[in-house]
Structure 1
């Protein structure tokens, strides 16, 4: 029996992250102006520049998934990871993207690598209907190891689905899980500790029990849910969304349900993708650790009225994404309960 690996073992302290956020929230709130319409901790910051218009902005990175791109010498997917992650975050707030900007920093600038990264950014921007407006490429000798770089992105969109930010939810609303394309962009410190340190695999070795290499599986791009949910959103069938990123299902669904409701998530309602089965078996981690670290096969949760479930499922599946009813809202105090594991 393996000793169970935890995210903290891999170097990520979620408690410290929560404590830091709690401490900086007062500083951030101290800069608030009358035009700010969201609170600290939202998936994206909402801002009203003029009456009748509301913008949403968000920033993110790719995290240590970049380390796998370095190992595999494959740089054309991480740009799509970044754009799609940011687009999903502002979609939760009801926005479509308008512009995207990037920041690439390296020790020694390699034109081929930077071009490959930006090609991924540009392809994803086109797919999501936003302009790659510009960015910054910083060459900082001695700051990064040879062959390594960091990547961050910034998106601005406009609210076109205002019902998502209103979040008028009630007991009996159903949770629909939208399948992820893989691990997306969270949990990679855990993943690297498991596959490369504990199992001794290389980026080009076969992934256990699957076709393709370790890097093929681990570099699968983060999925954008904007085109997948477009029909349901245009029809006003979705009451709220939760993007399943750091913190997993428990740490993201609780951000949108409010203080008077609980979410009951039935984890046996969807097939667990192969890579998460391998992570569970080889790490020995318990279900609580896994579900607070990874998306576990669900990249977005849509909250809908019971009578809209059938149509929303049909529309999502018609956009070539698997979806499943995975729970419901009940009266409560803002907690997420995992059942069925």
Structure 2
């Protein structure tokens, strides 16, 4: 049996670093910030500048999913991932994304690779109804292997204070999970270890009528339009990224906990295959992957049905996955 740490990713170390950042940055200016470090997105009020608007901002990358893009020589879908990982964090606040900047670093890649990456970025931005404000392309000889690159994104959303989710989460509120398209952009260090090192699969190995390469490059879903459909009912939201259910859902529960009925989640076969190959425990899976749910919203129990009906009407797969409870943390049922 292996875990995410065995594949080179230490979630606990990341959490410790966040705590250290809070200490090291305690003497920096804080006026205007209405959020704390550790959220999905920062929130900055422009009240001191005579404006009632709020700025939400976030930054993220694609991670080692890029290794699959290098190996398959397919580079457009990771551009969508780059946008998705940022805009999906922004919308956990209730504010919609306004503009985006990209950073592409490489030693040497073909012009077409850069063009394909940006085609993906523009496709993601269309889905998110978000503008491109600029970016940076950095060529750094000898920094990366030939043909390899790294991506980072930065996104800003601008809205009014009343646009923010109220966050008045209470015991008994319902958690609704909105389906993912697969692995999205997290857990790829463990995924690659399971498929390529342990199982000895190849990128052209057929899994459920698709090549493994196709499955692993499926773009992260962008939930902007979905959240707009049900925004009036949402109290809080979580983007299920690195850290899975265990690390991400509590970030929006204001100190409360939740019970998750895992039997209600339609987990795609590829997650179960990784679990079988790597002999992962249920808790390790739910701490590493999205398990078929890429975004979670918290709604009042009496709004549960209308939210689910609205999503179903718009052909968006979703499930009632659990409830908010007093005890902190995530209890998997």
What TM-score do you get using the length of structure 1 for normalisation? 0.94
* Structure 2 contact 65–185 (Cα < 8 Å) conserved: yes
Q: Deviations over 1:287-338 (max 9, x none)?
A: 1111100011111111111111111011122332211111111223x32111
Structure-2 separation of matches of 1:131 and 1:272: 33
Q: Report the alpha carbon displacement of residue 160 of structure 1 after superposing the two structures with TM.
A: 5.3
- Which residue matches 1:289? 284
Q: Select which of 233, 238, 248 maps to 1:237.
A: 233
- 2:36 pairs with 1:45: no
Q: Report the alpha carbon displacement of residue 24 of structure 1 after superposing the two structures with TM.
A: 1.4
| Count of residue pairs the alignment pairs up | 330
- 2:333 pairs with 1:336: no
Larger helix fraction of residues: 2
1:250–1:14 distance in 2 versus 1, CA, 3 Å = same
Q: Select which of 1, 5, 23 maps to 2:2.
A: 5
- 2:195 pairs with 1:201: no
- Which residue matches 1:21? 18
Structure 1 stretches of 5 or more lacking a match? Answer: none
Structure-1 separation of matches of 2:211 and 2:161: 40
Q: Report the alpha carbon displacement of residue 163 of structure 1 after superposing the two structures with TM.
A: 6.2
- Which residue matches 2:259? 264
Runs of at least 4 residues off by over 6 Å: none
Query: What RMSD over aligned residues (CA atoms) do the two structures have, in Å?
Result: 1.4
Structure 2 stretches of 5 or more lacking a match? Answer: none
* Structure 2 contact 77–120 (Cα < 8 Å) conserved: yes
Matches within 5 A, 1:61-210: 61-159=61-159, 162=162, 164-207=164-207, 210=208
Structure-2 separation of matches of 1:269 and 1:183: 18
Q: Report the alpha carbon displacement of residue 74 of structure 1 after superposing the two structures with TM.
A: 0.4
- Which residue matches 1:36? 33
Structure-1 separation of matches of 2:162 and 2:253: 16
Structure-2 separation of matches of 1:267 and 1:176: 12
Q: Select which of 282, 285, 299 maps to 2:294.
A: 299
* Structure 1 contact 28–40 (Cα < 8 Å) conserved: no
Structure-1 separation of matches of 2:104 and 2:84: 17
- 2:204 pairs with 1:219: no
Structure-2 separation of matches of 1:24 and 1:92: 22
Structure-1 separation of matches of 2:149 and 2:280: 31
Structure-2 separation of matches of 1:107 and 1:137: 11
Structure-2 separation of matches of 1:169 and 1:163: 17
- Which residue matches 1:311? 306
Structure-2 separation of matches of 1:320 and 1:117: 29
Q: Report the alpha carbon displacement of residue 162 of structure 1 after superposing the two structures with TM.
A: 4.1
Structure-1 separation of matches of 2:25 and 2:61: 20
Q: Report the alpha carbon displacement of residue 212 of structure 1 after superposing the two structures with TM.
A: 1.1
